[in-house]
Structure 1
C-alpha cells in the first residue's frame, strides 16, 4: 500500500460569513492510499477555530508513512485500531480512515453502504448554509433557492430577525456558532414559537452549556460541544440533538459508533460537514441513511471541487453506488 498526500486550496463561490469570521478560501489536505491499481481518498480541512495546521499534518504523515505502507490490507475497523495507535489528531485520523474505507471497498468491489448494511432509500435532505448577513438578504437567498432546508447563520440573537424567519414557514435551522448569551438561550427555549426551527446549533461557547434545558422548546444541537463518544452522556440534560462531523470524531469508523451510542441515549442525529470538496462530502453522504438531519453542502459552496463521488443536488443526497466511497479525482 502506498501513501500520497498534498495540500490543495478550496475557493469559495462567495464570502462565507459566520460568527467566527469571514472566509474566501480553505486549505485541504488530500490523502491517497494506493494498492493493486485502486486508490482511496480522504481529506481534512484547515479550520482556524480548531487550530488546524496542515503543514504539521503533512510532516506527521512523512513520519508515519513507512509504517502505513508496510501494513497489510485488513478490515477497516481493524486498520482503524492501528491508526489510533499512532496518536493522530482527529482531523488527520479522519482523512486516513476515510481513505482506507474508500480503498478497501474498491478492492472488495463493494460500497461502504453494502459493507455496513446502511439504509440508502428516502434519505433526509441536506440543508444549505445561509451566511451571516442582513436579514433581508438572507431571506432573499432562501426565497430564491431551489433547496428545501436551510441553516441560517447568525452572530448573536436578534429577536426581530427570529420572527421574520419564522414567518417564512420554511424548514429553517439557526446556527449561532456559539454567539448566543445565556439570556438569549433562556428566551429561545421558553418561546413556544421557537420549536418551529428544526434545530438551534451550538448556542454557547464550548463547555458553557449549563443554561440549556433539553425540555425547553428549542431543539438544541451540539456541534463543538460534541467532539467524540466521551461527550455524549454528559450532554444528555442539555441537548436534544448532536452534529456528527467526520473530522471532529476521527472518521467513518468512530462515527458509526457515535451514531449507535447516540441512538441508545435518545439523541437526534445530524451528519454535518465543514467546507469540503466531494472527497469529504462523499464520506458524509454514506451515513445519511442513519440520520435525522444532514448538512452536507460543503462542496456546493466551493468553485473548484477537484473530485467526484456522492453529492448533493438542491438538497437531495445522490449516492453513486460505486465501490468504496465512490471517489474519483477530476
Structure 2
C-alpha cells in the first residue's frame, strides 16, 4: 500500500460567517491510499477554532509513512487499531480511516453501505447553513432556497430574530457556535416556542453545558462538547441530541461505534461536517441511513470541489452505490 498526500485550498462561494469568525477559504489535506490499481481518499481541513495546523499533519504523515506502507490489506477495523497505536490527531486519523474504507470497498467491489449493512432508502434530508448576517438577509436566503431544511447561524441571542424565524414556518435549527450566555439558555429552555426549532446546537463554550436541561422545551444538540465516544455518558443529562462529525471522532470506524452507543443511550443523532469537499462529504453521506438529522452541505459551499462521489442536491442525499465511498478525483 502506498500513501500520497496533497495540500489544497478550498475556495468558498461566498464568505462563510459564524460566531467564531469569517472565512473565504478552507485549507485541506487530501490523503490517498493506493493498492494495486485502486485508490482510496480521505480529507481533513484546517479549522482554526480546533487549532488545526496542516503543516504539523504533513510532518506526521512523513514520519509514519514507512510504517503505514508496510501494512497488509486487512479489514478496516484492524487498520484502525493500527492507526490508534500511532497517537494521531483525530482529524488526521479520520482522513486515513476514511481513505482506507474507500480503498477497501473498491478492492472488495462493495460500497461502505453494503459492507456495514446500512439502510439506504428514505434517507433524511440535509440542512443547508445560513451564515451569520442581518436577519432580513438570512430570511431572504431561506425564502429563495430550494432546500427544505436550514441551520441558521447566530452570534448571541436576539429574541426578535427568533420570532421572525419562527414566523417563516420552515424546518429551521439554530447554531450559536457557543455564543449564548447562561441567561440566554435559561430563557430559551423555558420558552415553549423553542419546540418549533428542530434543534439548538452548541449553545455554550466547551464544558459549560451544566446549565442545560434536556427535559426542557429545547432539543439541545452537542457539537464541540461531543468529541468522541467517552463524551456520550457525561452529556446525557444535558443534551437530547449529538452532532457526530468524522473529523472530530477520528473517522468512520469510531463514528459507527459512537452511533451505536448514542442510540443505546436514547440520543437523537446528526451526522455533520466541516466545510469539506466531496471527499469528506462522501464519507458522511454513507452514514445517513443511521441518523435522525444530517448537516452535510460542506461541499455545496465551495467553488473548486476536487472530487465526485456521494453528494447532496437541494438537501437530498445521493449515495452513488459505487464501491468504497465512491470517490473519484476530477
Partner residue, 1:122? 122
Correspondence 1:7 to 2:4: no
Partner residue, 1:35? 35
Partner residue, 1:325? 325
Show CA shifts across 1:76-97 (max 9, x none). 0010000000000000000000
Q: Secondary structure of the residue that 1:177 maps to in structure 2?
A: coil
Counterparts of residues 185-264 of structure 1 (less than 5 Å): 185-264=185-264
State the alpha-carbon separation in 2 of the partners of residues 178 and 16 from structure 1: 17
**TM-score normalised by L of structure 2:** 1.00
Counterparts of residues 94-109 of structure 1 (less than 5 Å): 94-109=94-109
Offset at residue 136 of structure 1 (A): 0.3
Offset at residue 159 of structure 1 (A): 0.1
Partner residue, 2:285? 285
Partner residue, 1:140? 140
State the alpha-carbon separation in 1 of the partners of residues 30 and 59 from structure 2: 14
Partner residue, 2:78? 78
Offset at residue 224 of structure 1 (A): 0.1
Show CA shifts across 1:251-299 (max 9, x none). 0000000000000000000000000000000000000000000000000
State the alpha-carbon separation in 2 of the partners of residues 21 and 259 from structure 1: 30
State the alpha-carbon separation in 1 of the partners of residues 323 and 58 from structure 2: 27
State the alpha-carbon separation in 1 of the partners of residues 222 and 295 from structure 2: 14
Q: Secondary structure of the residue that 2:24 maps to in structure 1?
A: strand
Offset at residue 234 of structure 1 (A): 0.4
State the alpha-carbon separation in 1 of the partners of residues 78 and 41 from structure 2: 18
Partner residue, 2:56? 56
State the alpha-carbon separation in 2 of the partners of residues 211 and 76 from structure 1: 40
Partner residue, 1:165? 165
Show CA shifts across 1:31-50 (max 9, x none). 00000100000000000000
Partner residue, 1:17? 17
**TM-score normalised by L of structure 1:** 1.00
Q: CA RMSD in A?
A: 0.3
Q: Which runs of 5+ in 1 are unaligned?
A: none
Offset at residue 112 of structure 1 (A): 0.2
Partner residue, 2:93? 93
State the alpha-carbon separation in 2 of the partners of residues 53 and 6 from structure 1: 14
Offset at residue 217 of structure 1 (A): 0.3
Q: Secondary structure of the residue that 1:229 maps to in structure 2?
A: coil
